[in-house]
Amino acid sequence: MTFKPLRILLVEDDFFIAETLAREIRAEGDTVVGPFADIHEAIQYVGLVQAAILDVLVQDETSFSLADSLIHHEVPFIFLTESDPRLIPVRFADRHIYAKPSPATPLLHDLHQQHRAIVSQDGNNLEAAVIEMIHRARDLMPNCDIPRDCKAAS
């Protein structure tokens, strides 16, 4: 499956889990922002990422305020936890929760699906508008140096 790489915020205070996930995320072609073991440091990057993986309990505090900020910025995320998932507030009932440790592949698949859903439902998305304009321009003025453009014009 072809996908556009994402910038993924990784918030995990267990060094070994964070390093393993970061390595696996990079191996899959995405970019890791972090990993962070501090909620207050991580929250500064919310506007710079396209998805996030959040440990529920980081140091002595929860990542729920960070999750709220991600929701506000329409950034998809998933939770990781060793605790009982029922401890997560009801306001996050529609969010996916994975047990720690988890391999990165299913987490990334989930995040990419969430990201595609947000991009496709956002009709005012600048990236989608630019891509559509490029396709229309190719239809109107094909570039014969690009074989697929000349085939379309024929």
The pLDDT, as a whole number, for residue 1 is: 41
- Among 31, 30, 27, 53, smallest CA distance to 42 is for 53
Among residues 56, 49, 15, the alpha carbon closest in space to that of 33 is found at: 49
Task: Identify the bridge partners of residue 10 per DSSP, sorted by sequence position.
Answer: 53
Domain harbouring 19, CATH code: 3.40.50.2300
Give 75-90 pLDDT, tens digit per residue: 999 999 988 878 899 9
Same domain, 32 and 92: yes
| Separation CA 64–CA 53 (nearest Å) | 12
**Residue at 2 is within a domain:** no
Mean pLDDT value across residues 46-55: 95
Global confidence as pTM: 0.76
| 11-27 per-position pLDDT tens digit | 999 999 999 999 999 99
In a domain, 1, yes or no: no
87 and 37 within one domain = yes
How high does pLDDT run on average in the chain? 85
Same structural domain for residues 133 and 105? no
Number of helices and strands in the chain (H, E): 6, 7
Shared domain for 26 and 68, answered yes or no, is yes
Domain contains 57 = yes
pLDDT digits (tens, 9 = 90+) for 56-74: 999 999 999 999 999 999 9
Which stretches does DSSP call E strand in the chain? Answer: 7-11, 31-36, 51-55, 57-58, 61-62, 77-81, 97-99
Confidence of residue 4 (pLDDT cuts 50, 70, 90): confident
Helix/strand/coil percentages in the chain, nearest 5 = 50, 20, 30
- Both 55 and 105 in one domain: the answer is yes
